[in-house]
Amino acid sequence: MNIKSGEVLQVINNDTDSAFRLLSYLLSLFTELVVSGALIITILVISPTITFGLAVLVIGMMLLIQVIIRPIQKKIGRGI
């Protein structure tokens, strides 16, 4: 093993930073999912009609983006 101690320390330092960033991202994602779930359940309990309306609105916007906006962006990206 012809590895210098400086290289080992650099690899350990980089791996530690990467692992910390990954764990921070996963914790943030988990927190956002829990909060979103709590909000959806709260809105559903308070007013199912509003929840249904919001679901239809979000699904409609997602379809609008997928069907209309994304093909236009792909055309522009290819240079028409």
pLDDT at 6: 74
* pLDDT tens track for 11-34: 777 788 888 889 999 999 999 999
pLDDT at 63: 94
pLDDT at 18: 82
Number of Cβ within 10 Å of residue 12's Cβ equals: 10
pLDDT at 39: 93
The answer to pTM > 0.85 is no
Alpha helices in the chain (DSSP H): 5-46, 48-64, 70-78
pLDDT at 80: 60
- Report CA-CA distances (Å) from 74 to 8, 32, 66, 70: 45, 30, 11, 6
pLDDT at 73: 86
Residues of the chain with pLDDT under 50: none
